[in-house]
């Protein structure tokens, strides 16, 4: 049983996991959908009520029924490396590859359709509320008057993008920043704007969830930090990430978040306040983990490798059950 990893060549985080998989002797096929057709080839046959599919990459051929798990990391755009790329060929290649892989029954980290839903921050915030995570008061609006009313009720606000970082490379990040007092909100009519009550945070929390395993790290906010330094990604800080225990209530809620979202992996960002409350900011279903592992020595890559390797029979669900609904 083979682990399939879909990612680009430059993905050093995937390298870490592949090294660990190699050590345990688990067969791994790593490929970039950008190389289909070309370096990557596929074939699937539907005959007499059965399906038999194969993938070939780097001279290796693997049967799709022999896939134990699929790690959807940072895949390139299908057919983007052919001599004459086109939208049509990309769509044909994407449908062929992801259509067949969706039909295999292999476990996904993460299921592509569940992942798509989980990328919507307005959905994340509601989902977090529903599983019982504390969510800072938030408004997403194109109504200037709604923004003004909200700013009256919650005068200390930050503004951030609705869509967060785009999952594809190159990533497009827009820093979260503080809203100046007396801001005129007329411009929100020209684009949905996300306003959120600023948490006076004492630390940033990154909780990496891999299946049932939760690995959390805390980065203390410098006591002299200017309150305008909101976004940990841009803050000048020499504090390292340090391992931290996950409060039991948070653990329960995070497990529910992943289960109900159909996700196997999630990188949760929280802001910890002076009372020790972890305020949910977002869950990036394809968030990086290398920087945390580097600081904390937490075995995240190993945990990912373990998840990709192991069958978890008692919790195993047929792929088709996941999206099942009563129409």
Near its own copies in 195-254, by CB under 8 A: 211-212
Q: Is 141 in the site for its own copies (CB under 8 A)?
A: yes
User: CA separation (Å) from 46 to 40, 100, 181, 222, 244?
Assistant: 21, 11, 63, 60, 50
Backbone conformation region of residue 219, classed left if phi is above 0, alpha if psi is from -120 to 50, else beta? beta
The minimum distance between CB 293 and its own copies, in angstroms, equals: 20
Distance CA 99, CA 111 (A): 12
Distance CA 37, CA 39 (A): 7
Closer to its own copies by CB, 29 or 264: give it. 264
Tell me the number of residues near its own copies by CB under 8 A. 88
Q: Is 156 in the site for its own copies (CB under 8 A)?
A: no
Dihedrals phi, psi of 173, to nearest 5 degrees = -110, 140
Preceding peptide of 214 cis, ω within 30°: no
The minimum distance between CB 76 and its own copies, in angstroms, equals: 16
Closer to its own copies by CB, 127 or 219: give it. 127
Closer to its own copies by CB, 221 or 261: give it. 261
Preceding peptide of 70 cis, ω within 30°: no
Q: Is 327 in the site for its own copies (CB under 8 A)?
A: yes
Name residues whose C-beta falls within 8 Å of residue 56's C-beta, 6 or more positions apart in sequence.
40, 41, 42, 62
The minimum distance between CB 283 and its own copies, in angstroms, equals: 13
Contact letters for its own copies, residues 52-91 (x by CB under 8 A): ----x----------------------x--x-----xx-x
Of 109-117, 226-234, 238-246, 295-303, the segment contacting its own copies by CB under 8 A is 109-117
Q: Is 277 in the site for its own copies (CB under 8 A)?
A: no
Of 20-28, 190-198, 229-237, 287-295, the segment contacting its own copies by CB under 8 A is 190-198
Question: 307 to 326, contacts with its own copies by CB under 8 A?
Answer: 312, 315-317, 320-326
Q: Is 279 in the site for its own copies (CB under 8 A)?
A: no
Name residues whose C-beta falls within 8 Å of residue 258's C-beta, 6 or more positions apart in sequence.
209, 264, 266
* Strand (E) or helix (H) holding 85: none
């Amino acid at each position: 049983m083979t682990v399939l990893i879909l990612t680009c060549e430059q993905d050093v985080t995937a390298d870490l996991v592949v090294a660990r998989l190699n050590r345990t002797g688990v067969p791994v096929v790593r490929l970039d959908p950008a190389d289909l057709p070309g370096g990557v080839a596929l074939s699937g046959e539907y005959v007499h009520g059965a399906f038999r599919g194969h993938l070939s990459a780097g001279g290796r051929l693997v049967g799709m029924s022999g896939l134990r798990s699929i790690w959807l990391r940072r895949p390139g755009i299908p057919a983007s490396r052919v001599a004459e790329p086109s939208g049509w060929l990309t769509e044909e290649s994407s449908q062929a590859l992801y259509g067949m892989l969706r039909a295999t029954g292999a476990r996904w980290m993460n299921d592509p359709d569940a992942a798509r839903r989980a990328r919507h921050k307005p959905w994340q915030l509601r989902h977090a509320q529903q599983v019982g995570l504390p969510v800072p008061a938030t408004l997403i609006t194109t109504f200037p008057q709604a923004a003004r009313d909200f700013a009256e009720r919650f005068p200390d606000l930050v503004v951030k993008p609705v869509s967060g970082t785009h999952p594809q490379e190159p990533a497009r990040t827009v820093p979260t920043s503080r809203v100046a007092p007396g801001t005129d909100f007329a411009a929100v009519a020209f684009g949905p704007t996300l306003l959120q009550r600023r948490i006076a945070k004492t630390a940033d929390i990154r909780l990496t969830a891999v299946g049932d395993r939760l690995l959390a790290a805390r980065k203390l906010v410098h006591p002299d930090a200017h309150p305008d330094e909101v976004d940990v990604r841009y803050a000048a800080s020499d504090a390292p990430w340090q391992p931290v225990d996950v409060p039991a209530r948070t653990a329960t809620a995070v497990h529910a978040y992943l289960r109900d979202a159909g996700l196997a992996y999630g990188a949760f960002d929280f802001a910890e306040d002076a009372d020790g409350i972890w305020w949910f900011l977002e869950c990036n279903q394809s968030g990086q983990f290398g920087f945390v592992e580097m600081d904390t020595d937490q075995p995240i890559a190993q945990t990912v490798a373990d998840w990709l390797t192991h069958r978890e029979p008692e919790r195993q669900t047929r792929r088709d059950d996941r999206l099942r609904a009563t129409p």
